[in-house]
């Protein structure tokens, strides 16, 4: 007898659930997308224990009659496509008819729904995929879906859920994305019986962004003038030059209303800022691409996070044009006003780097140059001894950025920020090996506005942040601490008591944003193993170096050089940016030759 069998329906749904439903955040995504497809004007998301205990999504959309309510729990039951041709013109968020049966097969599930025109609604209860109760219900028109004890019957998957805080942060991040994609819908979010946010419906994306992230976030953004080319349109907001972040959490790219992460959408942004923003940084942006639904294939990923574009080239050119024109207008404008100063994230093209004369000839210029640097090789490199140092004469400072020394072989430039980064990195790494970084208590604690998702992330990683010297506590919506005033806005507050000592001259907001941003880029669950400590030390070092003052006078300048040369790997920052460079007499002569 053959061994191929048709899977029973429940089992098939549980298998499909593995693809569609990874964690509470993905359940929320599917449910809220269904509400959006149902034409909801107001959506409420409640969750408990990071969503593992309960997720409840309530909408005021079109609702379903009893037979549709039962049908939607069948696999491949969807009201959104009828024939294969429809696939090429999808305008709804869902279309596979997989989500509800999948979710219902791995939870204690309740669907309560009523169409406006019906006298009574329907309540259906499903446990682990089995319908065991169908009755009348008297809810308001719309649909409410409750997902309890996610994965209660699939222990292997339940084990994969992360801590409550992390799941909650992911979940909030997901709601934030949906709320940004649909400012026209009012969203309310309730976490463990406390309201995290209540966002009023608005036609203005800027209002929605401000309600979520606070006024200071919106000030960092510039609106794109809409660009259109060959049927592809883009509009949205992009950060001002200098506001680069090392992770892409704040880069949201939407295609026809659906959040899509794709290099085709994000690379042009990075490309547009080559030469303006240092390597490894990305501009925060909220971009909406609109195109003929037939030009995108959404049916390549079960959770629809990836798509295939018919013409990636057009998308690239539209994105590039939009970003460049936005920045072009800012820099021209600001330069004209004389207030354009490169922020800490803004590194004008690095000056050409020449290898210092004391390096042996075996190290080629190419090897020295930033991009080729590999720290293992640098560790071979000889360090000039202190006697060599006294032969250097100090010439002064240049452009608020370089120390100039004259040496036998010409002019030696030390880039102050890079040098500090290297010095602090090695110091911090040693400190982290044996404890935490120093922290500086603020005279008056500072209270910052933050989005609920950021606050939840901070709560989930407070131990790590304290190691870095940041002592902060969230309160108000989204936070763990006592409940703040409702106020009708989404953002909550973070009370900062102490900051990393070496960074204390920077604005507190900047410290928090950059630190969180850097740590986030370490991945989902950063830990303090060796790699984690190196990354943390590098992050705080970069931060602290950005806030450091110029060395005052010759003695301080020499100290800095000495500190640098006492490092294990003095020639580059942890990320491989050179700390020193030299202009040889030969090169100077060339410049003054006709």
Report the residue number, 143 or 582, with the smaller CB distance to ligand ADP: 143
Mask: binding to ligand ADP, 4-33, rule CB under 6 A, as x and -? --------------------------x---
CB of 139 to Mg ion, least distance (A): 20
Q: Which does 513 bind (CB under 5 to 8 A by kind): ligand ADP, Mg ion, none?
A: none
Residue 78's φ and ψ, nearest 5 degrees, are -145, 145
Closest separation in Å from C-beta 69 to ligand ADP: 8
Residue 142 phi/psi, 5-degree rounding, is: 125, -165
Pick 94 or 284: Cβ nearer ligand ADP:
94
Shortest Å distance, C-beta 78 to Mg ion: 7
Out of ligand ADP, Mg ion, none, what residue 544 binds, judged by CB under 5 to 8 A for its kind, is none
Pick what 166 binds: Mg ion, ligand ADP, none; C-beta below 5 to 8 Å, kind-dependent: none
* Of 16, 17, 99, 285, the one binding ligand ADP by CB under 6 A: 99
Q: Which is nearer to ligand ADP, 79 or 584 (CB)?
A: 79
Smallest gap from Cβ 96 to ligand ADP, in A, equals: 4
Helix (H) or strand (E) holding 441: strand 439-450
* Sole binder of Mg ion in the list 27, 52, 99, 209 (CB under 5 A): 99
Neighbours of 246 (CB within 10 A): 19
DSSP notation for 485-506: --TT-S-EEEEEEEEEGGGTTS
- Shortest distance, position 38 Cβ to ligand ADP, whole Å: 3
User: Between 19 and 568, whose beta carbon lies closer to Mg ion?
Assistant: 19
> Please, which residue, 113 or 251, has the CB nearer to ligand ADP?
113
Which CB, 30 or 426, lies closer to Mg ion? 30
Which parts of 247-311 fold into alpha helices (H)? Answer: 263-272
35 binds, among ligand ADP, Mg ion, none (CB under 5 to 8 A by kind): ligand ADP
Tell me the closest approach of the beta carbon of residue 10 to ligand ADP, in angstroms: 15
Where does this chain touch ligand ADP (CB under 6 A) — which range of 48-56, 62-70, 235-243, 377-385?
A: 62-70
Among 48, 79, 325, 369, binds ligand ADP (CB under 6 A): 79
If the CB atoms of residues 99 and 544 are measured against ligand ADP, the closer one turns out to be 99
Residues 6 or more apart whose CB falls under 8 angstroms from that of 344 comprise: 242, 510, 546, 547
Of residues 12, 21, 28, 62, which one binds ligand ADP by CB under 6 A?
Answer: 62
The answer to whether 439 touches 471, Cβ cutoff 8 Å, is yes
Q: Torsion angle of alpha carbons 397, 398, 402, 408, nearest 10°? A: -70
CB of 22 to ligand ADP, least distance (A): 16
- Count CB-CB contacts under 10 A for residue 250: 22
Contact set for ligand ADP, span 171-210 (CB under 6 A): none
What is the DSSP annotation of 104-164?
Answer: HHTSEEEEEEE-TT-SSEEEEEEETTEEEEEEEE-PPSEEEEEEESTTTT-HHHHHH---H
Q: Which stretch binds Mg ion (CB under 5 A): 96-104, 158-166, 394-402, 579-587?
A: 96-104
Residue 90 is a binding residue for Mg ion (CB under 5 A): no
> Scanning residues 30 to 49, which ones bind Mg ion (CB under 5 A)?
34
Instruction: Confirm or reject binding of residue 101 to Mg ion (CB under 5 A).
Output: no
Q: How many residues bind ligand ADP (CB under 6 A)?
A: 22
Q: Please tell me whether residue 72 binds ligand ADP under the rule CB under 6 A.
A: yes
Does residue 243 touch ligand ADP according to CB under 6 A? no
Residue 94 within binding range of ligand ADP, rule CB under 6 A? yes
Ranges of H-type helices in 40-130: 66-71, 99-105
Buried b (16+ CB within 10 A) or exposed e, 424-459: bbbbbbebbeeeebebeeeeeebebbbbbbbbbbbb
| 112 sits near ligand ADP (criterion: CB under 6 A) | no
**Total Cβ atoms within 10 A of residue 350:** 16
What x-and-dash track marks residues 32-51 binding ligand ADP by CB under 6 A?
A: --xx--x-------------
Q: Which residues contact 144 (CB under 8 A, 6 or more apart)?
A: 56, 57, 58, 59, 110, 111, 112, 113
CA 22 remoteness from chain centre: 19
95 is a contact residue toward ligand ADP (CB under 6 A): yes
| Cα–Cα distance measured from residue 455 to residue 276, given in angstroms and rounded to the nearest whole number | 30
Q: Which of ligand ADP, Mg ion, none binds 59 (CB below 5-8 Å, type-dependent)?
A: ligand ADP
Whether the Cβ atoms of residue 125 and residue 75 lie closer than 8 Å to each other? no
Supply the minimum distance, in Å, between the C-beta of residue 150 and Mg ion.
17
Our CB check for Mg ion shows the closer of 34 and 582 to be: 34
Q: Number of C-alpha atoms within 13 angstroms, CB side, residue 534?
A: 5
Return the closest-CA partner of residue 85 out of 296, 307, 294, 258: 294
From ligand ADP, Mg ion, none, which one binds at residue 459 (CB under 5 to 8 Å depending on kind)? none
Which range binds ligand ADP by CB under 6 A, 92-100, 258-266, 394-402, 543-551? 92-100
Q: Which two tokens stand for residue 141?
A: 């028109």
From 251, 407, 347, select the one nearest 575 (Cα to Cα): 347
Residues numbered 143-162 forming contacts with ligand ADP, rule: CB under 6 A: 143
If the CB atoms of residues 77 and 447 are measured against ligand ADP, the closer one turns out to be: 77
Residue 391: both structure tokens together: 């032969």
137 binds ligand ADP, rule: CB under 6 A? no
Distance in angstroms (rounded) separating the CA atoms of residues 533 and 593: 50
Report the residue closest to Mg ion, judged by CB. Answer: 94
Report the alpha-carbon distance of residue 123 to residue 23 in Å, rounded.
25
Q: How far is the CB of 276 from Mg ion (least distance, A)?
A: 40
In the complex, minimum distance from the CB of residue 43 to ligand ADP, in angstroms, rounded to a whole number? 9
The DSSP code sequence of 295-344 is GEE-TTSTTS---EES-HHHHHHHHHHHHHHHHHHHHHHHHHHT-----T
Q: What are phi and psi for residue 343, nearest 5 degrees? A: -75, 175
Min dist. Cβ of residue 11 to Mg ion (A): 21
- Alpha-carbon distance of 200 to 207, in angstroms, equals 9
Binding positions for Mg ion, rule: CB under 5 A: 34, 94, 99
Query: What is the binding site for ligand ADP (CB under 6 A)?
Result: 30, 34-35, 38, 59, 61-64, 72, 77-80, 94-100, 143
């Amino acid at each position: 007898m053959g061994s191929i069998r048709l899977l029973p329906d429940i089992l098939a749904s549980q298998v499909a659930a593995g693809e569609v439903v990874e964690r509470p955040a993905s359940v929320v995504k599917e449910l809220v997308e269904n509400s959006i497809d149902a034409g909801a004007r107001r959506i409420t998301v409640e969750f408990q224990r990071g969503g593992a205990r309960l997720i409840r999504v309530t909408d005021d959309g079109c609702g379903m009659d009893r037979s549709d309510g039962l049908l939607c729990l069948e696999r491949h039951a969807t009201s959104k496509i009828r024939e294969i041709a429809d696939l090429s013109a999808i305008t709804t968020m869902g279309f596979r008819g997989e989500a509800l049966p999948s979710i219902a097969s791995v939870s204690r599930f309740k669907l309560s729904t009523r169409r406006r025109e019906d006298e009574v609604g329907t309540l259906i209860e499903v446990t682990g995929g089995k319908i065991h109760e169908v009755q009348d219900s008297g809810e308001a028109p719309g649909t409410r879906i409750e997902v309890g004890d996610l994965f209660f019957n699939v222990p292997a998957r339940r084990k994969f859920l992360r801590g409550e805080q992390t799941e909650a942060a992911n979940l909030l991040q997901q709601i934030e994305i949906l709320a940004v994609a649909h400012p026209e819908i009012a969203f309310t979010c309730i976490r463990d019986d406390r309201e995290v946010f209540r966002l009023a419906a608005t036609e203005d994306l800027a209002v929605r962004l401000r309600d979520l992230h606070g006024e200071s976030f919106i000030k960092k953004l510039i609106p794109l003038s809409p660009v259109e080319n060959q049927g592809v349109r883009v509009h949205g907001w992009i950060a001002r030059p200098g506001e680069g972040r090392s992770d892409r959490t704040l880069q949201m790219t939407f295609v026809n209303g659906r959040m899509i992460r794709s290099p085709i959408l994000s690379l042009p942004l990075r490309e547009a800022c080559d030469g303006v923003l240092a390597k490894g940084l990305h501009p925060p942006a909220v971009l909406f691409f609109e195109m003929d639904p037939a030009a995108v294939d959404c049916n390549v990923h079960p959770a629809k996070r990836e798509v295939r574009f018919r013409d990636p080239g057009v998308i690239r050119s539209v994105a590039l044009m939009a970003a460049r024109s936005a920045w072009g207008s800012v820099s021209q404008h600001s330069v004209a006003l004389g207030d354009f100063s490169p922020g800490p994230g803004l590194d004008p093209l690095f000056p050409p780097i020449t290898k210092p004369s004391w390096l042996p000839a075996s190290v080629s210029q190419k090897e020295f140059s930033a991009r080729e640097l590999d720290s293992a090789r640098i560790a071979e490199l000889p360090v000039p001894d202190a006697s060599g140092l006294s032969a250097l004469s100090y010439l002064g400072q240049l452009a608020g950025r370089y120390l100039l020394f004259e040496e036998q072989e010409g002019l030696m430039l030390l880039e102050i920020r890079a040098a500090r980064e290297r010095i602090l990195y090695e110091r911090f790494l040693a400190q982290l090996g044996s404890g935490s970084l120093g922290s500086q208590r603020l005279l008056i604690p500072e209270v910052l506005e933050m989005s609920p998702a950021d606050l939840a992330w901070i709560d989930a990683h407070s131990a790590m942040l304290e190691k870095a010297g940041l002592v902060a506590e969230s309160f108000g919506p989204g936070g763990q601490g006592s409940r703040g005033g409702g106020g009708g806005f989404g953002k909550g507050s973070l009370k900062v008591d102490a900051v990393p000592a070496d960074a204390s001259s920077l604005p507190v907001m900047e410290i928090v944003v950059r630190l969180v941003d850097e740590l986030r880029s370490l991945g989902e669950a950063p830990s303090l193993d060796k790699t984690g400590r190196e990354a943390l030390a590098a992050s705080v070092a970069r931060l602290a170096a950005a806030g450091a003052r110029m060395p005052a006078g010759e003695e301080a300048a020499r100290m800095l050089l000495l500190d640098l040369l006492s490092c294990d790997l003095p020639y580059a920052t942890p990320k491989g940016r050179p700390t020193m460079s030299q202009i040889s007499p030969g090169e100077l002569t060339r410049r003054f030759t006709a």
